[in-house]
Amino acid sequence: MSERKFRDKSDLLNLRHFETKVYGHYALTSLTAYCLYWLQEWGISSTLENLSIASHKMFPVKFAMVGWPQFPDINRTNRSVLQMRPKYRNWATSASSKGVFLNQNGIQEAKALIEKLGSPVFEGEKEAATNPALIRSERGTGKPRSVHAEDKIDQLRKSYIFDLYLHSRFDEVEAIDLIQLLNVYDHTPSRVKKLKLKEYLDAAKEMNDEKALGFLMKVSERFSKYLNK
């Protein structure tokens, strides 16, 4: 537990960032849980604004604005918080006027990450006490992911084909819409197309997103012949 004494929330600006290689493979939701845990420990209000600053200071590569890496992306933080709600990962609850609060599941996730990363470090203090053995072990469990589940589902929900599904116009869907979702070409081998689709399925399962799963099952059924030709 951190015993640091805070004057006010501006002390968050003195947080030091972790090395990207230490945290880059963790999901946004896990890193957000870590930050929320420490805001509570320090007695700082867990508003979306404070959380966005803390997340960006400690994990800038994950929480920076695209094209403006020196600034936090509050929308990215908000998406992570939404995925932590009871409907999805069930790690936290939120109230717009009071902030975001970890439940017991979220606290367990945060503590698991603290065991690997150690406590946050501020300017003038020694380096964070990370646990290299645990980090290596985590990286060794499967292939590293360049895109996390939260980002994958976000891509899906912004797609034209998913919009047709939401508005009960799935009968209008054509192969070109699937091609755009998978970011492939018509002549791309079927095995590659199926792998791309599986990435979305895996992400939907990890996020427990029933609407996305239902959509992807309909896509698999409708384009079964096309994906196996």
What DSSP line would sit under 164-197, residue for residue?
A: HHHTT-GGG--HHHHHHHHT--TTS-HHHHHHHH
- Band of pLDDT at residue 182, cut at 50, 70 and 90: very high
Query: To which residue do tokens 């891509």 refer?
Result: 155
- Return d(Cα 85, Cα 91) in angstroms, integer: 6
106 pLDDT higher than 90: yes
**Number of residues written out for the chain:** 229
Query: Which element (helix H / strand E) includes 109?
Result: helix 104-117
142 pLDDT higher than 80: no
All structural domains of the chain with their residue ranges = 9-139, 149-227
The mean pLDDT value of the chain amounts to 84
Residue 140: its pLDDT value, please? 37
pLDDT: is 215 or 123 the higher one? Answer: 215
Residue 138: its pLDDT value, please? 38
50 pLDDT higher than 90: yes
As a CATH number, domain 9-139 is: 1.10.10.10
- Band of pLDDT at residue 193, cut at 50, 70 and 90: very high
Average pLDDT on 123-138 reads 48
Average pLDDT on 171-197 reads 92
137 pLDDT higher than 60: no
Q: Which of 26-30, 69-73, 76-80, 95-99 has the lowest mean pLDDT?
A: 95-99
Give the tokens for residue 212. Answer: 């996305």
Average pLDDT on 187-200 reads 92
Q: Which residues contact 160 (CB under 8 A, 6 or more apart)?
A: 177, 180, 181
68 pLDDT higher than 80: yes
Percent of the chain clearing pLDDT 70 (strictly above): 85
